A = this chain, B = another copy of it.
Amino acid sequence: MEIRRYKHDAAYSYTLGMALTIELIAQKDSYHIRKIYVHPDYVPKDDKNNIFEICNEAQLPVEINKKVFGRLSMKENVYVIGIFDKHDMNVEPGRPHVVLVNPSDSGNLGTILRTGLGFGFKDYVIIKPGVDIYNPKTIRSSMGAFFHVRFTYYDSFEQYRQKFSNHQMYLFMLDGKINLKDMKERQQKNPFSLVFGNEGSGLPGFFRDYGDSIYIEHNNEIDSLNLSVAFGIAANSFSE
């Protein structure tokens, strides 16, 4: 079967670049890897980082193929690509969740996974419609964090909330009631979910009724913070 540039309905996705592909191979018990493609111009950095050796050890099929790189990669410095099967998974109950309502930017999503993983968040929920977490752009901007987190899509927030009705919902809104700074003095309830809206429009007003609404204090010289920055500040604060 010919590997084409990623589309949402594809059964597979892929890693672009050596570092990401090594992250993928390390997770070969969780992800079924179809094949590793190597560019004919590939030169191993050193003996330890030879992709052929790594694939041999992991018993993975390798193919030297130039055409695939022209089709899948827009960046020039990609010499290794790993193709793997997508699969559904479930976020873990009782653990802190990050809930993204209708996220629209693949790069932001990857940055959120990277930041969140660094602060101990491993479970991500995306409320549809939202960007495809399997998009190679998200995997790339996650810097490999993608392979260390769990994620589930829900059709609606209502559906998610019913399933995790024991979770305290913390809703990040420009006009939230609680200043994030004051959360430290309050009793943080467990398990909890940090809920963020779309990059442009934020959470609709009625979300405040779902739990505690929180705002990150900033002056009015800007309309709002960038979503991944706001998430970083929140995740840092909740990891304390």
Q: CB within 8 Å of B: which residues of A?
A: 111, 114-115, 117-120, 143, 145, 148, 181, 216, 218-219, 221-223, 225-226, 228-230, 232-233, 236, 239-240
Contact = CB atoms under 8 A, between A and B. Distances in A.
- This protein's copies in its complex: 2
Contacts of A229: 111, 115, 228-229, 232
- The 9 closest A-B CB pairs, nearest first, are A118-B218, A229-B232, A118-B222, A233-B236, A117-B221, A111-B226, A115-B229, A232-B232, A117-B222
A172 to B, nearest CB: 13
B236 A145 contact: no
A176 to B, nearest CB: 15
Contacts of A221: 117-118, 145, 148
A69 to B, nearest CB: 23
A88 B177 CA distance: 42
Contact of A219 (B119, B181, B223, B230): B119
18 contacts: A111-B229, A115-B225, A117-B219, A117-B222, A118-B222, A119-B218, A119-B219, A120-B219, A148-B221, A181-B240, A216-B236, A226-B228, A228-B228, A229-B229, A229-B232, A232-B232, A233-B233, A233-B236
Given A181-B240, A240-B181, A225 B232 contact: yes
Contacts of A233: 232-233, 236
